[in-house]
Amino acid sequence: MTLFNEIYGAYFRIAAAVLERDSLTAGDIRDIVAEEGFRDSVLFVPEKLLPGDNSWGLLRDNGNGSYSRVTSRPPVTVVTELQKRWLKAKLLEPIMRLFLSDEELSALSERLSDTELLYEPEQLRTVDAYSDGDDYSLPDYRSCFRELLQAVKNREICYIAYTSGMNEEIGRLFLPMKIEYSVKNDKFRVYCRSMKNGRASGSTVINIGRITGVRRTGSTCQEGDDTESYFSSLRCREPAVISVTGERNGVERFMMEFSSYEKRTEFDMETSTCQVTLWYDRADETELLIRLLSFGPVIEIIAPRSLRQQAAARVRRQYGLLYGK
């Protein structure tokens, strides 16, 4: 029995968002599809929602340029007993304290008091990960995380004080752009733009565990929303090209390991190998390399040459440690 099924997929979310409205226009429908769907969803989903021959039959035409649902009430999201058990188990994970207040955690735990746990947290173990992850239960860590999260949502400038890798105390104005979690390091980091004279200039990445204080200024960045161009500038100049064999479920394991990466895949039926083109942030190159090497002979790094050379150097160094020069 699956925990979540297709009723929680993108198209069902789109339909639910449309049916929650008492009345909406064709433009409203396109906006909902663009926000909730995939990049190409706007090409065919709106015509499925609007009344017509190919319609899903969810809306009726009011005759004045507006549409309304055919049901008398909006849809209700059903939470199954299995999902409640999963949620209760998730609430025991320390990382949940970053997103929920003590009051919210207490209220949810009370509502699930009669629900049996789906699993115990100690039954799960992350492999190939460092053991010195951040302590998410620390009040100061939770406070900094919440302040940064609000700043990212509002594009609000913050004064951030932190300790650098060289043990230097630094404090200045930043514009937090994105908070990212590293599974391998079990740490959160925040991407920031440095602020000078009210304008964004350089960029830096700060481990939240090194931050000693965050003060939101109440001022927002006056420049245009250049978030997409900012992160595009951090991407690798040349994507990694990886050949993955089917040995030991290599393709399946590789896709799961790198599910969060932007990639393009081509499968060769004759050789049963999959060639994956992988885009990544330049700052993550070392972590990417370590994760790739963990697959051993199941993969081969085709390009870029510099990444292939780094992999070869690491393998030679490891061989030397094990067997000598």
Cα–Cα distance measured from residue 61 to residue 73, given in angstroms and rounded to the nearest whole number:
17
Check residue 182 and give its pLDDT: 82
* Kind of pairing between the strands at 67-69 and 299-303: unpaired
For 179-219, the pLDDT digits (tens) are 988 877 889 999 888 887 767 777 788 999 999 999 998 88
Cα–Cα distance measured from residue 257 to residue 288, given in angstroms and rounded to the nearest whole number:
11
Peptide bond into 46 cis (omega under 30): no
Check residue 2 and give its pLDDT: 54
DSSP 57-69: S-EEE-SSS-EEE
Check residue 235 and give its pLDDT: 72
Question: What is the phi/psi pair of residue 252, to 5°?
Answer: -60, -45
* Kind of pairing between the strands at 187-196 and 199-207: antiparallel
Cα–Cα distance measured from residue 52 to residue 66, given in angstroms and rounded to the nearest whole number:
14
Q: Is 122 exposed, middle or buried (0-12, 13-18, 19+ CB in 10 A)?
A: exposed
Q: Is the dihedral of CA 235, 240, 246, 249 positive or negative?
A: negative
Domains of the chain by start residue, with CATH: 6-69 (no CATH), 81-123 (no CATH), 139-233 (2.30.30), 240-323 (3.30.70)
Is residue 91 a contact partner of residue 112, using CB atoms and an 8 Å limit?
yes
Q: Is the dihedral of CA 178, 183, 185, 186 positive or negative?
A: positive
Check residue 8 and give its pLDDT: 64
Residues of the chain under the 70 pLDDT cut: 1-8, 39, 127-129, 198, 222-234, 325
Check residue 1 and give its pLDDT: 44
Cα–Cα distance measured from residue 210 to residue 161, given in angstroms and rounded to the nearest whole number:
9
